[in-house]
């Protein structure tokens, strides 16, 4: 008998190691959180790990031998169109993968998974493709959170509408389209007329309810392709795409009509809201969104001034629009002037019509020094300051300068009886301004009896509660108060009971023609009678000649102010303080 013996120890060792590595690989692929599918060179499924089984809905035994596209069905997340198989993609050397591509896997039962995948060919020593290994994992929750964060970044939380930043981006795209394709679009700037009334009367939470209801109403007036955004507060914007100005005006008027009929109901109370709309055609005349938004804002403001709940369409020849544009430019100039300290204080004497031996009385006036050294009167910039909420900042500057002056200790100030300082309606209703004023009083002790704050009658009537509270607070500190432009804002004097002022400054419109106009004379006499009954002193403004002064004396006016008495001059010079401006 002939036999051959072979030593198979090494072979068995290698087989055992190979089996151990195979088992290790199998356990690893079963344990990892990623889904894994392997295919042969023809793209037929050979194996799935448990995660792949769960996500595809195919069991391993069912999937084996099936084309990969049958088991691994993927589509573009945005369009729903079928995506190229990652196995085919991995075998295309010249195909560049798109990192921004968002893919969805549709499982066997129809469940959608947002996935990220990668595939790599398996090659032998000679470089021949033996198959492909496909790895993918579930990113559905990450994508949901990403979409939610993106939505929050571009949308208003309260209404779900696009926010201002997103609106401005879309507006610029519309402008670019107009320039490149000569297409016509339109912009609407919408402001609610009576939102503040609801907010103040019922609270912010109820105001939010109103904004949500208005959002539903506006959504019903525009097309789904149009952009509706909340720009802030009670302001909304609409971009009407491929819409000429005539059609846009019909849409805007529809909104006005529906808002005219709309009533907001809360706690048994009904509120009429109304809306003012500025409409601007988006065409080749505009190159940048800022200019269009300015035009729309000023058009909206013109609609408010014309009576509210109406549409104002922008026209290049519209003089009121150019006036508003000028005010916007003033806003920037005023910001710079405040930063650069270029305001100046002037003063104009106020004298007793019957000599009394009192010290110096004067009204503190403001001027603006331009970069070229010229002096700009307040009438040129104060309307813009009121319009763009800068009046309170200017008032702070004036009050700070006056307090510094009174605290300077100059002996000439002993002769000063009264410095009358004008305050805007914005300041008397601004808690921050009032805190600033009280802090100023605490930090710079001055003789407060020399101070008199002047508030216009219109501002006081418009904000009667705030004005009354402010006046009471100042009087407790020893500061006197004057009601400026008296007679211009009301047909009734009943409100005077709520305003404990010391002086009534009769509006100049009644003074200028008091000598020749019996009606003006009767009005001034009436004002003086009211003042005497209430124990107040009167001041006649715009006294420009002797005949007016004599008439005021006969009518019983106490003080006179105007060009006949004194032309305004730098306050320091008026007070006799060398070097004071």
SS (H, E, C) 155-173: ECCCCCCECHHHHHHHHHH
Residue 8 domain-assigned?
Answer: no
237 class by beta-carbon count within 10 Å (0-12 exposed, 13-18 middle, 19+ buried):
buried
CA distances from 281 to 172, 291, 313, 519 (A): 14, 12, 8, 48
- Assess contact for 180 and 196: CB atoms under 8 A: no
| Domain co-membership, 89 together with 161 | no
Residue 29 domain-assigned?
Answer: yes
| Domain co-membership, 119 together with 189 | no
**C-alpha–C-alpha distance, residues 480 and 361, integer Å:** 13
| Domain co-membership, 168 together with 302 | yes
Residue 110 domain-assigned?
Answer: yes
**C-alpha–C-alpha distance, residues 32 and 461, integer Å:** 75
Residue 306 Cα to chain centre, angstroms: 23
Q: Is 75 helix (H, G, I), strand (E, B) or coil?
A: strand
**C-alpha–C-alpha distance, residues 174 and 193, integer Å:** 28
What's the CATH number where 424 sits?
A: 3.20.20.450
Of 426, 419, 478, which is closest to residue 454 (Cα–Cα)?
419
| Domain co-membership, 499 together with 448 | yes
Mean pLDDT by 10 residues, the chain (581 residues): 61 59 54 83 89 92 90 86 76 54 88 88 81 89 82 87 91 89 91 84 88 94 93 93 91 92 88 91 83 87 80 68 58 86 94 88 93 85 81 94 92 93 90 91 91 88 82 93 81 73 92 91 92 94 94 95 94 79 42
| Domain co-membership, 129 together with 167 | no
Q: Which of 260, 292, 316 is the last residue of a domain?
A: 316
Could you give the number of structural domains in the chain?
3
| Domain co-membership, 133 together with 204 | no
| Domain co-membership, 245 together with 112 | no
Residue 568 domain-assigned?
Answer: yes
Residue 525 domain-assigned?
Answer: yes
- What is the length of the chain? 581
pLDDT at position 91 is 64
List CB contacts of 359: < 8 A, sequence separation 6 or more. 415, 416, 417, 418
Classify residue 567 by its DSSP letter: -
Domain limits at 443? Answer: 329-575
Q: Which of 316, 340, 361 is the last residue of a domain?
A: 316
What's the CATH number where 93 sits?
A: 3.30.450.20
| Domain co-membership, 128 together with 223 | no
| Domain co-membership, 369 together with 422 | yes
**C-alpha–C-alpha distance, residues 409 and 532, integer Å:** 36
| Domain co-membership, 183 together with 292 | yes
List CB contacts of 270: < 8 A, sequence separation 6 or more. 263, 264
Residue 307 domain-assigned?
Answer: yes
CA distances from 313 to 177, 299, 548 (A): 21, 7, 46
| Domain co-membership, 81 together with 174 | no
Residue 4 domain-assigned?
Answer: no
454 class by beta-carbon count within 10 Å (0-12 exposed, 13-18 middle, 19+ buried):
buried
pLDDT at position 19 is 55
Residue 172 domain-assigned?
Answer: yes
Q: Which of 316, 343, 358 is the last residue of a domain?
A: 316
| Domain co-membership, 423 together with 560 | yes
């Amino acid at each position: 008998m002939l036999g051959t013996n072979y030593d198979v120890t090494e072979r068995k060792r290698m087989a055992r190691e190979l089996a151990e590595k195979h088992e290790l690989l199998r356990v690893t692929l079963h344990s990892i959180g990623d889904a894994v599918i392997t295919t042969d060179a023809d793209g037929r499924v050979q194996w799935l790990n448990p995660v792949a089984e769960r996500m595809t809905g195919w069991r391993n035994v069912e999937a084996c031998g099936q084309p990969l596209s049958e088991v691994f069905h993927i589509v573009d997340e945005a369009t729903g169109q079928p995506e190229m198989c990652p196995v085919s993609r991995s075998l295309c050397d010249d195909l560049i993968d798109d990192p921004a591509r968002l893919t969805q896997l549709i499982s066997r039962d129809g469940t959608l998974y947002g996935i990220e995948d990668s595939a790599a060919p398996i090659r032998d020593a000679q470089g021949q493709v033996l198959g492909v290994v496909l790895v993918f994992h579930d990113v559905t929750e990450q994508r949901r959170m990403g979409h939610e964060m993106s939505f929050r970044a571009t949308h208003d939380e309260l209404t779900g509408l696009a926010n201002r930043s997103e609106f401005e981006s879309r507006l610029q795209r519309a402008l670019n389209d107009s320039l490149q394709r000569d297409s016509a679009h339109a912009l609407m700037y919408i402001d609610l007329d009576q939102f503040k009334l609801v907010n103040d009367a019922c609270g912010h939470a109820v105001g939010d309810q109103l904004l949500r209801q208005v959002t539903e109403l506006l959504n019903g007036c525009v097309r789904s392709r149009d952009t509706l955004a909340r720009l802030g507060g009670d302001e909304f914007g609409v971009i009407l795409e491929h819409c000429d100005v005539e059609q846009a005006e019909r849409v805007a008027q529809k909104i006005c009509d529906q808002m005219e009929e709309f009533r907001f109901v809360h706690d048994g109370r009904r509120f009429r809201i109304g809306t003012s709309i500025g409409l601007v055609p988006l065409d080749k005349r505009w190159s940048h969104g800022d200019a269009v938004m300015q035009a729309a804002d000023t058009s909206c403001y013109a609609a408010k001034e014309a009576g509210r709940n109406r549409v104002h369409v922008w026209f290049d020849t519209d003089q009121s629009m150019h006036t508003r544009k000028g005010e916007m430019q003033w806003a920037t100039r005023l910001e710079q002037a405040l930063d650069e300290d270029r305001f100046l204080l002037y003063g104009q004497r106020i004298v007793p019509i019957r000599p009394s031996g009192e010290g110096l009385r004067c009204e503190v006036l403001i001027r603006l020094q331009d970069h070229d050294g010229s002096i700009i009167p307040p009438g040129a910039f104060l309307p813009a300051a009121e319009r763009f909420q800068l009046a309170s900042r200017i008032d702070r500057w004036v009050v700070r300068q006056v307090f510094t002056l009174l605290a300077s200790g100059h002996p000439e100030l002993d002769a000063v009886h009264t410095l009358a300082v004008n305050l805007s309606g914005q300041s008397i209703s601004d808690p921050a301004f009032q805190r600033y004023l009280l802090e100023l009083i605490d930090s710079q002790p001055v003789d407060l009896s020399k101070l008199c704050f002047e508030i216009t009658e219109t501002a006081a009537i418009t904000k009667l509660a705030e004005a009354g509270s402010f006046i009471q607070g100042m009087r407790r500190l020893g500061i006197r108060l004057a009601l400026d432009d008296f007679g211009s804002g009301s047909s009734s004097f009943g409100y005077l009971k709520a305003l404990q002022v010391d002086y009534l400054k009769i509006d100049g419109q009644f003074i200028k023609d008091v000598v020749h106009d019996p009606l003006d004379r009767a009005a001034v006499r009436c004002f003086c009678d009211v003042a005497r009954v209430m124990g107040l002193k009167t001041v006649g403004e715009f006294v420009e000649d002797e005949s007016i002064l004599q008439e005021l004396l006969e009518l019983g006016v106490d003080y006179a102010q105007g060009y006949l008495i004194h032309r305004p001059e730098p306050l320091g010079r008026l007070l006799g303080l060398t070097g004071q401006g």
